[in-house]
Amino acid sequence: MGTILPNIERSSTSGSAKIREGTPQLMASSNKKVVVRLADGKVQAGYLPGSRIVRRETAVLDLLDVAGRIVPVALKTVRYVAYVRDFNLDDHSAPERLLRKTFLARPRTEGLWLRLTFRDGEVLEGLAAIDITLLDEAIADQGIYLIPPDVRSNTQRLFIPRHAIATLAVLSVVTSPSKAAVRATGEEPTLPFPDR
């Protein structure tokens, strides 16, 4: 998981340090606010790193809850992880406030425009990275990261585990016109008039 530090004990007599086995501690500076939506509909709020959130050997998320305790959450029980601006814990049904789940028109931001269907039939669209990080994150975290359709809502980013996805379709590759022209021709676009 990227930012885990072991517990360290210092001996007062010798001054040497030894690593103590036990619960890992997360670095607070790299953690983001998240709302974890479980497959059974329950919600857990806490903090997770921006990426590499799954312990590969055990497929567990180490969620740092709002009380400061590390709560292991089995990846197989997670529907999605929503990186949020605010926890909104007073809203028990939808604290992540992910209201719009599809784009109204073609997105303007660059990325892979994806449509996925959850195992219960719910459809969600989002933008994924075009570069190699899409594959890196899919392998390391056993899922994909998406930017939701409404970036002004409370949810800024989503992590969807592989097991929660029934179908996944690429709707479009969204790029800026200048980058698309360079990729197609291999040359920089030219101006319609020469330099003087």
Tens of pLDDT, residues 95-112: 888 888 899 888 888 999
The pLDDT score that the predictor gives to residue 98 is: 83
- Amino acid 140 reads A
Residue 140 gets the label, from left (phi > 0), alpha (psi -120 to 50) or beta, of: alpha
Q: What's the confidence (pLDDT) of residue 165?
A: 92
Which residues in the chain come in under a pLDDT of 50?
1-28, 196
* Exposure b/e, 111-147, CB count within 10 A at least 16 = b: bbbbbbebeeeeebbbbbbeeeebeebeebbbbbbbb
Record the pTM: 0.72
pLDDT tens digits, 146-165: 999 987 889 999 999 999 99
Q: Give the CA count within 13 Å in the CB-facing half-sphere of 107.
A: 25
Output the pLDDT for position 64.
94
Would you kindly state where each structural domain of the chain is located, as residue ranges? 23-85+97-185
